[in-house]
Amino acid sequence: MSSGGSLPPRTRYPPRTVRVRTAFPLFLGVLCLGSVPGAAFAGPLAPLPGTAVGTPATPGGADTARPAISAAEQLSRGVVTVERDGRILGVGAVLGGDHGEGRILTALSSLGASDTADVRYADGSVVHAKVGHRDRAWDLALLIPLTGHWFDGLVASPANPSEATLQAPVALHPGRPAVVPAHVRGLVDARAKEGNATLSSVLDVELQGATPSLGAPLIDGTGGVVGVFVKACQPTLPMVPPAGSPRIGAPAQMAAPPAPPCSPMIVVAPVSAIVEFLSHTPPTAVPPTPWLGIVGVTDVESNTHGVRVMAVAPDSPAQKAGLKANEDKAQADMIVAVDGQPVDSPERLAEMIGRHSIGERVKLLLLQGGKFHEAQVVLRTAP
């Protein structure tokens, strides 16, 4: 999402050790597996090819140039369930573009008093996440996955919500939301669930045969995101202050009058509110970067291509795995492959390491003194 008021189109970027930028794309296919009572054309999100429910695969995969995927699979990749201790809290949408990098947009109120939650992807993999940015007025939260990378997300819709065919995922089972029809009843001015902030022109949306899941994206017939379901409240008749209460316009030192009564409701925060929210994301709210802990250079003198280890950081994953640096190149390790994939430059090595999660074991093929040997490193964040 960009801060200019619209979300970027789908883009694919290669993974990097610093960050992985993704698209926020979403395509809506014909979903016909199972149903929600009373919901026509509803069904659970399709599992990813080669995976079964509860059988995790590596998020995003190791090959960024994977073949084209189906509409149902793309939708599955862009929607997650937000959980804690196996209990579903709500739904989230994977973001991309300038404000994405695999981060997840959801409703703040779904998380309760905690700043952490688990995120379950369509392939069954579960990662821990923490809140990196929040807006209590709009009830929006940006979850930062603590491990793993996910390369697919959702894009914003330019359509008029009142004229579009709409659907929304509803969390029924962990990692497998169902998609149900929805329609906009109108635009309303609501009030924040906390405080007196006015939420202007939110969408009053009704789902067919289902209750909205907090944090779920509302999507149009072409797969664009119209908004996100959040918690707000509907003001009722203004409360009459009791006798002796301070009047509006009274001196600042006097106590403010109590807020008028407000009935809880679930509304849809529009794209404009989401863009504004994301434009204020702090720079520190980014996924952690896996760290190896070496300084390496391309070895151009050897017949074997690889990255010669010139320095090893103290207490780094590389040092703990026994990697050696030496002024004598014959005595220094050269990394020639990561998990069986050849590396021939520091940039390629950084790319391969960046595809992994914090805490993962990575197998390195090393060459030293004319002999090959293997080392396993456990990646962690840089100090």
238 — pLDDT class (breaks 50, 70, 90): low
305 and 350 part of one domain: yes
Q: How confident is the model at residue 243 (pLDDT cuts 50, 70, 90)?
A: low
DSSP bridge partners of 83: 88, 118
Examine residue 113 and state whether it is found in any structural domain, yes or no: no
My answer on whether 232 and 313 are in the same domain is no
- Which tens digit of pLDDT belongs to each residue from 125-169? 888 899 999 999 999 999 998 875 666 778 778 888 888 889 999
pLDDT at position 26 is: 30
317 shares its domain with 364? yes
Q: Same domain, yes or no, for 266 and 340?
A: no
Q: How confident is the model at residue 30 (pLDDT cuts 50, 70, 90)?
A: very low
Report the C-alpha gap between 334 and 321 in whole angstroms: 14
Question: Which residues are within 8 A (CB) of 352 and not within 5 positions of it... i.e. 6 or more apart?
Answer: 338, 339, 341, 343
Query: In this structure, are 266 and 299 located in the same domain?
Result: no
Q: Provide the whole-model pTM.
A: 0.68
Residue 299 counted as domain residue:
yes
- Residue 256 placed within a domain: yes
Is 160 domain-assigned?
A: no
263 and 171 fall within a common domain = yes
Please give the residue range of the domain that contains residue 206: 166-240+250-273
In a domain, 322, yes or no: yes
- What pLDDT, on the 0 to 100 scale, is given for residue 45? 53
Same domain, residue pair 233 and 185:
yes
Token pair, residue 358, equals 């914090």
My answer on whether 177 and 261 are in the same domain is yes
Average pLDDT, whole number, for the chain? 77
24-28, 48-52, 132-136, 231-235: lowest mean pLDDT where? 24-28
Report the C-alpha gap between 180 and 170 in whole angstroms: 7
Question: Which region among 130-134, 144-148, 180-184, 191-195 has the lowest average model confidence (pLDDT)?
Answer: 144-148
**In a domain? residue 75:** no
Number of domains in the chain: 2
With a cut of 70, say whether residue 312 has pLDDT above it: yes
For residues 204 and 260, state if they share a domain.
yes
pLDDT, average across residues 257-265: 74
Q: What is the pLDDT of residue 148?
A: 59
11 within a domain of the structure (yes/no) = no
Please report, for the domain that includes residue 364, its CATH number: 2.30.42.10
What's the burial of 333, exposed, middle or buried (CB within 10 Å: 0-12/13-18/19+)?
buried
Instruction: Please report whether residue 330 resides in a domain.
Output: yes
User: Largest alpha-carbon pair distance within the chain?
Assistant: 91
Is 294 found in the same domain as 257? Answer: no
Q: Are residues 294 and 211 in the same domain?
A: no
